[in-house]
């Protein structure tokens, strides 16, 4: 039986094959032929299959560890839903209560675990369509650090090229200029008020919906923060193209703009831009969309492409929201998110007591940033509105 490490090595080799294929096509300034497309798709399917096996083995290892721990613990640990219910009932009785939850608990509890990137959740009779932000970041290949204590510093440097110097000739200097990114705790929170009547009538599923919605809201804000940081940390990589002149070659030019082959290449934009690219031909006067797939998860030139609603709220250097007019390309494993503590839920029965409401607050400490700005290129304005 293959181990997790064996599978990761196998996956790495297949990804290298995919990278070599894409690099060869880009160097020859052409699109993949039918055989190359079939090969890339087959390799991609094999990588996904290996990812599933790795996930299953890692999950089983985690369950095995828990089985041992639970056997040694005399009193069974209360589930996340149970603790939420108890805190809520105490708040209804007029007590200020709170509890903390590890991210692993959200994934482990059947009522609230999900692997669906785009989901529709019923919350108190209201349908909430949302994107699972944490899964979105992980699918991109963003490095996600959880349970971090204190600041973390991540370093990077441009690729260096060696030479074959002639006899009595000095080697060329590598000129490596290391850069670093420091992620520091910043409070990220959200609050919601509920009437006592609503809370007194909720069932387990509604409690799960409330919790996952609050936890997802934190990750959606973290994802927005990361997208916004591209404007700041990779700002010198932008180019501006008017919508009337935008062509497929402009899109493919982003791929050629990065000198080193990305480990986890992907395109990111808004669903609106994705929809526009679905109607843009790959070659002038020839049918065939630049964007293949739905506006949330698709591909461009065989490379994963994502449409996301996570937009910035502040203009930087005259540029507005991050994904409303921008199209990013790069190696998203060169970006990072850190969560520094557990998610804390607080139940406040006092602030809105006159209205018969209880305020539920969820917050955590997190930060995000671009580790290596050299790994990204983006079109600052595709002007499709």
Determine the Cα–Cα distance for residues 41 and 119; give it in Å rounded to an integer.
26
What is residue 54's predicted lDDT score, i.e. its pLDDT? 85
pLDDT in tens, the chain (385 residues): 778 778 888 888 888 888 888 888 888 888 888 888 888 899 889 989 988 888 888 888 777 765 544 444 444 567 777 888 888 888 888 888 888 887 667 666 655 554 434 444 444 443 334 557 777 888 888 888 887 888 888 876 666 667 677 777 776 665 666 677 888 888 999 888 988 888 777 676 777 777 778 888 888 888 888 888 877 776 555 666 665 667 778 888 888 877 677 888 899 888 888 888 888 777 665 556 888 888 888 898 889 998 887 754 444 444 444 445 678 888 888 888 888 888 888 999 899 989 999 998 988 899 988 888 888 888 877 766 4
Helix boundaries (H) for the chain: 4-27, 34-72, 80-92, 103-108, 133-140, 196-200, 204-233, 248-256, 271-278
Q: Render 221-275 in DSSP notation, one character per residue.
A: HHHHHHHHHHHHHTGGGEEE--TTT--HHHHHHHHHT-SSPPSSEEEEE-HHHHH
What is the b/e burial string over 4-28, where b = at least 16 CB atoms within 10 angstroms of the residue's CB?
A: eeebeebbeebbeebeebbeebeee
What is residue 73's predicted lDDT score, i.e. its pLDDT? 41
Domain ranges of the chain: 1-77, 79-152+179-385
* CATH number of this structure's domain 79-152+179-385: 3.90.1690
């Amino acid at each position: 039986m293959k181990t997790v490490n064996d599978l990761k090595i196998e996956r790495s080799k297949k990804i290298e094959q995919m990278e070599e294929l894409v690099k060869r096509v880009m160097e020859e300034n052409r699109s993949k032929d039918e055989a190359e497309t079939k090969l890339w798709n087959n390799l991609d399917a094999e990588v996904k299959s290996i990812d599933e096996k790795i996930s299953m083995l890692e999950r089983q290892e985690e369950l095995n560890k828990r089985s041992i721990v639970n056997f040694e613990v005399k009193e069974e640990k209360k589930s996340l839903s149970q603790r939420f219910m108890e805190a809520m009932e105490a708040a209804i009785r007029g007590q200020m209560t709170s509890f903390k939850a590890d991210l692993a608990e959200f994934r482990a509890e059947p009522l609230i675990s999900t692997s669906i990137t785009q989901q529709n959740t019923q919350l108190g009779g209201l349908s909430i369509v949302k994107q699972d932000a944490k899964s979105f970041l992980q699918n991109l290949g963003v490095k996600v650090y959880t349970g971090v204590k204190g600041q973390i510093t991540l370093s990077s440097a441009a690729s260096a090229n060696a030479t074959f110097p002639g006899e009595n000739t000095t080697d060329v200097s590598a000129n490596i200029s290391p850069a670093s990114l420091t992620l520091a705790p910043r409070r990220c929170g959200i609050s919601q008020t509920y009437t006592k009547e609503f809370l007194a009538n909720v069932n387990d599923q509604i409690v799960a919906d409330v919790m996952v919605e609050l936890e997802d809201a934190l990750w959606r804000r973290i994802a927005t923060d990361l997208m916004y940081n591209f404007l700041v940390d990779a700002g010198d990589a932008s180019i501006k193209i008017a919508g009337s002149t935008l062509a497929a070659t402009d899109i493919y030019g982003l791929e050629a703009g990065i000198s080193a082959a990305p480990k986890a290449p992907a395109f990111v934009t808004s669903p609106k831009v994705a929809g526009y690219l679905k109607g843009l031909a790959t070659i002038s006067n020839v049918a065939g969309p630049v964007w293949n797939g739905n506006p949330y998860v698709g591909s461009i030139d065989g490379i994963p492409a994502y449409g996301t609603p996570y937009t910035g709220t502040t203009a930087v250097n005259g540029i507005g929201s991050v994904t409303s007019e921008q199209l990013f390309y790069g190696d998203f494993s060169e970006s990072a998110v850190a969560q520094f503590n557990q998610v804390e839920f607080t139940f406040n029965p006092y602030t809105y007591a006159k209205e018969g409401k209880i305020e539920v607050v969820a917050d955590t400490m997190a930060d995000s940033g671009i580790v290596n700005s050299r790994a990204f290129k983006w079109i600052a304005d595709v002007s499709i509105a």
